[in-house]
Structure 1
Amino acid sequence: MKQLLRSPLTLAIALVNASLATNAMAQNTPKSKPVLEEIVVTATKRETNLMDTPIAITVMTEEALVQQGIANVKDIDKLVPNMDITIDSSQSAPVISMRGVRSTNITELGDPAVGLHLDGIYSPRPQGAMALMFDVERVEAQRGPQGTLFGRNSTVGNINIITKRPDTQELAGSLGVELGNFNHRQVRGVINVPVTDTFALRGSFMVEERDSYLNGYYDPNQWDTRYLSEDIRNAPLYTGAEEDKSLIQRARWWDGGADGVQELVKADEADFYNNSDQYSFRLAGQWEPSEDFSWYVAYEHFQDDSAGSADTIDCDKAALRVRTDEDGNYLDASGNISATPVPGSDGCERIYGPGADSYTVNVSVPGEQDLNIQNVRSNLRWDFSDSMAFVYNAGWAKQTRTQMSDQDRGITDWDMSIFFREATFVSHSHELQLQSTDAGPLQWVTGLFFFEENNDMQGGWMNSMASADYWNQSDRTLASQAAFAQGTYDITERLHLTAGYRYTRDTKEDVGGHNMSCNDSNPNLLEPELNGNACFPSWDREAFNSLPQDYFWNKGIYTSVTNNDIKGEWDYHNYRLGLDYDLSDDTMIFAYVANGTKSGGIGDVVVQYEQDPITTEYPLDENGERIVKKRWGNTYEPEEVITYETGVKTDLLDNSLRLSATVFYSDYSDMQVATSKPLFVTYSFERDGETGEETGEISADPFTVFQTDNIGKAEIKGVEIEFDWALTENDRLNGYVSYLDTKIVSDFYQQWTHATVDLFEIEHADSVDPENTALTTNLKGNELPSSPKYSLNINYSHTFDLHRGATLVPWVNVSWKDKSYYSIFNSEKHEDLFASETPDAFSDTRESVTNVNLGIKYTAASDNWSLEAFCNNATDETEFYWGGGGDGVIKGPVSMPRFYGIRANYRF
């Protein structure tokens, strides 16, 4: 313990000494510097001064969010130390990492590692972070375990969005308009109406539309063209250069593409992937019949009708690839044999054609998304005595998602897509609190928490040439109950002790859920006259494309593969013990130890039956039941982080400089890792790769499930320094510097799943063979994903005072993140395992990135209107948020290119 805390304590003492010395110097300087305004936060379930709150916390105002062009939670990561947010395009959801800890299971089975709260009310689905943020008072990002007060899945941090409340004092409102390139249009509006002296209403809304920033094409040469319009399906034959013809032929390898290769059709940017078409509104009421009672109720509605997100190719890594012919000879970019490898001969232009870059994408399935989120939030507070208050927070949320997206994007020979069909998630929560309100030496809060979520998840995966899978999970439930208490006692006037405890019991259950399959060996249960009584017309493109667009959306055509009836129950304990000491009226030091817990869970149940490999028949036992050979799908346990943290918060230079610094060490155990896990389940006849006809050979087919396991331990340590400095009355400088070191410290054996075919140069069947021990790798010593070692964020603005009180404020923001990894495999550390001559082309390294935003804002002398010009990503950096490997390339969601425009705001 002494060794663990020696370095943090040394740094804390040094920071304290520096602050005291600076304060002493400030005593001898004229008090001419401006004073920073006080910031009030609710990180401890009560209102406290940010600088008196012994927690690492970043606060963002609505003005700062609008200035940086931030419209939802997924874009705030550059403003928060040691926070990183990536995107999973297949689920339209962010993956939030804080201090190196994250959860990649964002299905209805998973739980986030960073809790998201709206007005203090827990939001369970990660898609909720995509909802528009508007008319907010502030956003609080708390780092470190927050389990005692905020509970569910606040393992390493918590994000709380606090909206603005109705005001009974005045009729007021505002209207803002933003216009930018990519045909960007955004409108925000607010109206506050005092109905009586004790009751007020507040309405607000935000609408955003923007064309896609991708260079998108529809490709009628791919296998599945059912979703394309007739003019695209009947596009004219390709008439371009013969040497470029092969770029399209690769999508028609089944017939050689010699005749009938069609032109690609440029997509309309307005409704293509990575566009924006969303709106949200909120209606809120606040009733305050007395100083002792208030009741706030809000209804919020969010709708996203965009095309969703598409992964694109990392062309910098693709340019490292080497092209070969069927005999293994190296080829140059023109296809001629070369004596040596030619990097770049098989890059993006070889896949998508001349001029292709990381924003180019070809699809045969247009993107479709219908994401609807509704929330009702209620906060009731009653100060029923001079020393205590009762608080009741209640929330109800419903999320419904219909989605369809292309998953291969013309990169692979196989045509794949994913869909969700009115997947519905309904949750409600209740939290009852008692709080102390007097000025005594003990300040405390205690309460009960109840949460329940009911999920109906309908969706599927299409392998358009061979089969389809359907996920029918109509009754998956989660229930959570907790009791908590936390108090702070003034041991002396300057020394304060905080202790907190929470007991939680979670239950997760699946009733009647199934994973289902549709292939050419299954009967068509709905329309047996179709496809020769088979569910799926394998290798018959004409028959496949004659099927209705919604054919595979009907679960009645599928045959059950798994029976997912399963239940898991866990209880766990969270604690916090801390001390903080006021060195002076302006400086506080603090230290604590706390743990955080991410709930255990359940997995899909997969059963492998005994089967005769020749007859493919299943023998029966004495009861007439199939004999079970193996069963997968057990529950997995909670994971835990224990954090030791110490820090200092101080106001310097006559309160013109605000400095916060913290040092932490975290011990992370029972690590949950979610991966696609291959399992041998059935036998089938192999098919000829050219004709698709059965060869008579028997092979074992792997069945892949997305499964979470507890498999490791990790150590995490870091430093976070935040500052806010009013240099002069007209100059403001703020930002942060952070350091993060993560390492897996236990033996951590995992079957390799990142770009396996390409790195090991093996066939796909071998890459998903659960018995291929050559792919089992010990990842001990690897870094955790999304954990850049160093990061930096600096904001600077200068105010020019113009005639009669008008102002002109130019500003600039610079954000830099060190390199990190997309996955847990850290491929560059295991190159001795690979057969590839160009492993860097398939690396899971995420390169460092610098991002610059800037603008200039004019505010009228009356302060009721303003006009601002802005430019985000001014240096036009290309950043990938997720680096999935496979199909010969690294790919993932890509950042928006340089984005610029103007915004105007009017207040009354």
Structure 2
Amino acid sequence: MFVRKTLLHRSIAAVLAASSAMAAAQSESGADPASKPDGGAPESSASLDTITVTATKRSTPLQKTPIAITAIGAQQLEKERVITVQDITSLVPGFAATTQGDHGVITLTLRGIGNDSAKTEYADPEVALFVDGIYTPRAEGAASLLLDLESVEVLRGPQGTLWGRNSTVGAVNMQTAKPVIGDSSGNVQFGIGDYGRLGGRGAFNLPISDSWAMRVAFAHEEHEGYVDYQNPGELLPSLESQQAAYLASGGDPAAFQAINPNLFVNGGDKYNAQNQSALRVSSLFQPSDDFRWNVSYEYFRDTGTPNMNLMQTPRAGQEFWSTFADTAPYLDREVHTLRSRMDWQLSDYLSLSYTAGFSRFEGSSDFDQDGGVQVPTSYTTGATFQEDRTNYSVYRNHSHELDLKSNGENTVDWILGLYYAAEKNKIRFDIPIFNGTQQGTVAWQGSFIQPKQTVDSKAIFGQATWNLSDVFRLTGGLRYTDDAKENIGGRGWGWQYNPDVPQVPVAPGTIPSTETGFGFGVGGINDGKYDHGQLTWLVRADYDLSPSMLLYASVSTGYKSGGLQDGGVPYKHEELTNFEIGTKSSFLDGQVIWNNAIYYEDFKDFQLAAPITFVDGSRGLGFSNVKGSTKVWGFESELNARLSDDDRLQFVFSAIPHKKLGTLLYAGSNDYQGLPACPAESGIGNCLDVSGNELAHAPDAAFTLVYEHDFRFASGARLTPRISTHYETESWLSAFNLGDGDKQASYHRTDLSMRYLNPTGTWYIDAYVDNVENKKVRTSAGRTAVGSGFEYLSQYLPPRTVGVNFGFWF
């Protein structure tokens, strides 16, 4: 079983023991758990349109907030068994998440715009991720466990005025559950499932005094890998065949050696395994009605394994969920985060808030990039060995925001803010590539060492809403951002093909140098500076057509910083202008809400990033700005209905019929072998003209339907079956649009669950089946040359999984 004991595991065990004692004490005292704020009582019959959101940096009703926004509350997050951001994508129109194996990260796409290679210290995402309003700059943050959340808000469309840089097409803001003064309560959940799944999570609210409360939350999820290992003894050729292939390649008979089968992985941890733990300690201090201070410390640890690139068409006799691996999987990530927010009520008309965040990420990983597509014919022929190894990555960041805003009902509601954020990152990433096997000859190998990469971002912003009447409002906003980036001492080391140097894969402890005799030379000098200032703005009008229907129209801009790529070459920032009209409606006294939006996006200098080979044979991560306009338009619809006290329905729909790239003549990617040779002036070895191609992860249409019904018993118990089914049309997996191997075909995928809630509402049991159809849903693609053709590889959503959860409140 895939279990690694850690100090955090022991800490969780101690917390669980404490929870049992607390639950017993509650029982003895006669407390009613169902009366707690997060208790197990049946859902309130209150209207659905009372949901509040913080999209405007104020608490406002969802149906009165003139923004395309999806709000997912704590109950729904629990029912959907949300563990990472990827688990909520089907609940949000036009939202998609992809996995990237070699760094073990999740990248996000919204309304057809995203960047699959926004996964290093260089690239920034188009969808900004926030926790309690604090920006998470690196993509690894999306892979963290989501624990003890009050809600998740997904804001669609540019959020460049209030939420800032890198929220080009939207922002995701996760609100953690805050301590409650004077309340003693908690909840705990345990789970088991196939693939050795073990899970546990819980939260405890602890009243300390009349002005102070604390909350402790934890989560742990683990399961064995979905990907089995193919047996090298069944695949490797006979000794005679190896000798023949080696001699046919011109090899020296005296140098021949047999392929060592022990170089191939046939046991141990599997790819696509999970082993994640998280712990959060929160504090609320409120000495008066005019001052509140929320502060939290969060720890996250991930020692699972990366997701594997699988052959879309397995070899004859091989299982689909299997790989011929010559690199064992490894992943180790650790994140420490401190978040703080202070709120002052300066007067009846004025309030001030200060938000600060500090985070440190450390990670390393090892990944089989060649995917085991080819079987070597000899120790140095017939296949390629490629290991992608992050020796270390350390990302440190801090941010500060000061907001001054009006309170109450005014003719003009306004907010002014100052913002500062800084990052200091370093990374070493090695890529040994060998002919045949690790025993073979060097095809190329390199080491990318970036000892210091800094980011400084400063901004000033303001937004005001003029309430022209009780039903008509005008909003305008401006933000000026200045971004500065600097790479100091970064070097890309490449193999120099010196015959006098032993040809062995570069070791993690090897320090490349032209003087050490390891055979490396400087392939790229990454030193450089980037600085750019950008103005983003918003103009919006909203009108109450009736007390239960809001109409809004807006024009807004988003912006993502440019920067420096390998070699110190700068790339430009990108800009998005979004035109949008939307409605928000509620019916039947708020029991039905129906929200719609139609949008048109005009994207300038859209950034595409990919690992590439330069004309001199060196390699690196390259960035290209798409010239002209990348244009996208689409329609979104969300329906939530309480059909009766026992029936609930949710319908999410997205259509993106038009999503065309602008002009990009020279798009390259080492993940797609066999691209044509590129003109010398491009600087890239191989590339393809992708002008006018369709964007990736943007199906023409997609919808999700969720339905649940409560069966109530005379005892007071309740049984709730729930079905969630998702359908989408085919979509491309890259901007290359290379054919069936580079797309996900249309599919439907269904999750089923059943919950039993005991009569007193103090505990429940859930049984679930995810991906009932056992669909193989691709989230990425690449291809490898095999003979005269190509073999496509992809990463996939999990196969069918089943399990049971047990939880209780106190």
Give the TM-score of the pair, scaled to structure 1. 0.77
What's the counterpart of residue 668 of structure 1? 603
2:400 maps to 1:443 = no
SS in 1 for 2:775: coil
What's the counterpart of residue 10 of structure 1? none
- Quick one: distance in 1 between partners of 2:804 and 2:95? 29
Amino acid paired to 1:71: I
Question: Unaligned regions of 5+ residues in structure 1, if any?
Answer: 1-32, 220-237, 316-347, 523-531, 539-543, 606-632, 682-701, 761-765, 829-839
2:133 maps to 1:156 = no
- Cα deviation 1:731-779 (Å, max 9, x = unaligned): 100121110133336443124548865576xxxxx58987799976543
What's the counterpart of residue 336 of structure 1? none
What's the counterpart of residue 893 of structure 1? 795
SS in 2 for 1:91: coil
- Cα deviation 1:622-679 (Å, max 9, x = unaligned): xxxxxxxxxxx43121111101101110111232111000111111111212133432
What's the counterpart of residue 514 of structure 1? 491
- Cα deviation 1:531-564 (Å, max 9, x = unaligned): x5x2xx23xxxxx38x9x6454777755433221
What's the counterpart of residue 5 of structure 1? none
What's the counterpart of residue 844 of structure 1? 742
Report if the CA contact (8 A) 2:394-2:426 is conserved.
Answer: yes
The worse-fitting range, judged by mean Cα deviation, of 154-163 and 453-462 is 453-462
- Say which of 681, 687, 703 aligns to 2:618: 703
- Quick one: distance in 1 between partners of 2:225 and 2:276? 13
What's the counterpart of residue 322 of structure 1? none
Amino acid paired to 1:704: R
- Say which of 50, 75, 88 aligns to 2:87: 75
Question: Unaligned regions of 5+ residues in structure 2, if any?
Answer: 1-44, 375-382, 435-440
- Quick one: distance in 1 between partners of 2:366 and 2:179? 39
What's the counterpart of residue 702 of structure 2? 791
- Quick one: distance in 1 between partners of 2:599 and 2:365? 41
- Cα deviation 1:161-195 (Å, max 9, x = unaligned): 10000111221111100110001000102111000
SS in 2 for 1:655: coil
User: Alpha carbons of 1:261 and 1:76: their partners in 2 closer, same or farther (altered >3 Å)?
Assistant: same
User: Alpha carbons of 1:659 and 1:384: their partners in 2 closer, same or farther (altered >3 Å)?
Assistant: same
Measured after TM superposition, the shift of residue 849 of structure 1 is 2.0
Amino acid paired to 1:487: A
Report if the CA contact (8 A) 1:171-1:192 is conserved.
Answer: yes
Give the TM-score of the pair, scaled to structure 2. 0.86
2:49 maps to 1:87 = no
What's the counterpart of residue 800 of structure 1? 711
- Quick one: distance in 2 between partners of 1:251 and 1:895? 39
- Quick one: distance in 1 between partners of 2:491 and 2:112? 34
- Cα deviation 1:362-414 (Å, max 9, x = unaligned): 11211111111111000100001110101000000111111111111322411
Measured after TM superposition, the shift of residue 730 of structure 1 is 0.7
- Cα deviation 1:248-307 (Å, max 9, x = unaligned): 9999997899966749977446x2111111101001100011111100000001000112
- Cα deviation 1:416-435 (Å, max 9, x = unaligned): 10111221010000000001
- Quick one: distance in 1 between partners of 2:107 and 2:496? 33
| Larger Cα-atom Rg | 1
- Quick one: distance in 1 between partners of 2:242 and 2:678? 26
- Quick one: distance in 2 between partners of 1:646 and 1:583? 14
User: Alpha carbons of 1:268 and 1:62: their partners in 2 closer, same or farther (altered >3 Å)?
Assistant: farther
2:729 maps to 1:818 = yes
2:693 maps to 1:782 = yes
Measured after TM superposition, the shift of residue 92 of structure 1 is 1.2
SS in 2 for 1:63: helix
What's the counterpart of residue 541 of structure 2? 579
SS in 2 for 1:489: strand
Amino acid paired to 2:489: G
2:650 maps to 1:734 = yes
What's the counterpart of residue 331 of structure 2? 369
- Cα deviation 1:770-810 (Å, max 9, x = unaligned): 77999765433321111111000010000011133211100
- Quick one: distance in 1 between partners of 2:171 and 2:384? 41
Question: 1:683-694 maps to which residues of 2 (within 5 A)?
Answer: none
The worse-fitting range, judged by mean Cα deviation, of 188-197 and 400-409 is 400-409
Measured after TM superposition, the shift of residue 98 of structure 1 is 0.5
What's the counterpart of residue 458 of structure 2? 481
What's the counterpart of residue 568 of structure 1? 530
Report if the CA contact (8 A) 1:795-1:813 is conserved.
Answer: yes
The worse-fitting range, judged by mean Cα deviation, of 116-125 and 162-171 is 162-171
What's the counterpart of residue 420 of structure 1? 390
- Say which of 469, 472, 480 aligns to 1:495: 472
What's the counterpart of residue 33 of structure 2? none
- Quick one: distance in 1 between partners of 2:645 and 2:246? 63
Report if the CA contact (8 A) 1:819-1:847 is conserved.
Answer: yes
What's the counterpart of residue 297 of structure 1? 295
What's the counterpart of residue 426 of structure 2? 456
- Cα deviation 1:587-629 (Å, max 9, x = unaligned): 1110000010111111222xxxxxxxxxxxxxxxxxxxxxxxx
- Quick one: distance in 2 between partners of 1:247 and 1:847? 39
Report if the CA contact (8 A) 1:407-1:417 is conserved.
Answer: yes
Report if the CA contact (8 A) 2:363-2:394 is conserved.
Answer: yes
2:808 maps to 1:873 = no
Q: Kindly report the root-mean-square deviation, in angstroms, between the aligned alpha carbons of the 2 structures.
A: 2.8
Measured after TM superposition, the shift of residue 244 of structure 1 is 14
Amino acid paired to 1:577: V
- Quick one: distance in 1 between partners of 2:685 and 2:305? 40
- Say which of 104, 116, 121 aligns to 2:129: 116
Question: 1:185-264 maps to which residues of 2 (within 5 A)?
Answer: 185-217=198-230, 219=232, 238=233, 262=261
Measured after TM superposition, the shift of residue 239 of structure 1 is 7.5
Measured after TM superposition, the shift of residue 61 of structure 1 is 2.0
Report if the CA contact (8 A) 2:185-2:809 is conserved.
Answer: yes
- Say which of 39, 49, 56 aligns to 2:61: 49
Question: 1:102-181 maps to which residues of 2 (within 5 A)?
Answer: 102-103=114-115, 104-181=117-194
- Cα deviation 1:346-368 (Å, max 9, x = unaligned): xx22xxxx421431101121111
2:588 maps to 1:653 = yes
- Quick one: distance in 2 between partners of 1:463 and 1:896? 29
Question: 1:312-327 maps to which residues of 2 (within 5 A)?
Answer: 312-315=310-313
- Quick one: distance in 1 between partners of 2:481 and 2:332? 35
Report if the CA contact (8 A) 1:636-1:708 is conserved.
Answer: yes
The worse-fitting range, judged by mean Cα deviation, of 111-120 and 364-373 is 364-373
- Quick one: distance in 2 between partners of 1:384 and 1:819? 54
2:757 maps to 1:859 = yes
User: Alpha carbons of 1:509 and 1:261: their partners in 2 closer, same or farther (altered >3 Å)?
Assistant: closer
User: Alpha carbons of 1:193 and 1:750: their partners in 2 closer, same or farther (altered >3 Å)?
Assistant: same
SS in 2 for 1:492: coil
User: Alpha carbons of 1:752 and 1:253: their partners in 2 closer, same or farther (altered >3 Å)?
Assistant: farther
- Quick one: distance in 2 between partners of 1:119 and 1:247? 59
- Cα deviation 1:479-521 (Å, max 9, x = unaligned): 0000000111111110011111100000011111111134542
- Say which of 781, 791, 798 aligns to 1:883: 781
- Quick one: distance in 2 between partners of 1:410 and 1:459? 21
- Cα deviation 1:674-707 (Å, max 9, x = unaligned): 13343233xxxxxxxxxxxxxxxxxxxx223321
- Quick one: distance in 2 between partners of 1:58 and 1:307? 31
Report if the CA contact (8 A) 1:793-1:814 is conserved.
Answer: yes
User: Alpha carbons of 1:896 and 1:747: their partners in 2 closer, same or farther (altered >3 Å)?
Assistant: closer
- Cα deviation 1:452-475 (Å, max 9, x = unaligned): 000111121111331421111111
Amino acid paired to 1:872: D
- Quick one: distance in 1 between partners of 2:645 and 2:591? 10
SS in 1 for 2:644: coil
SS in 2 for 1:147: coil
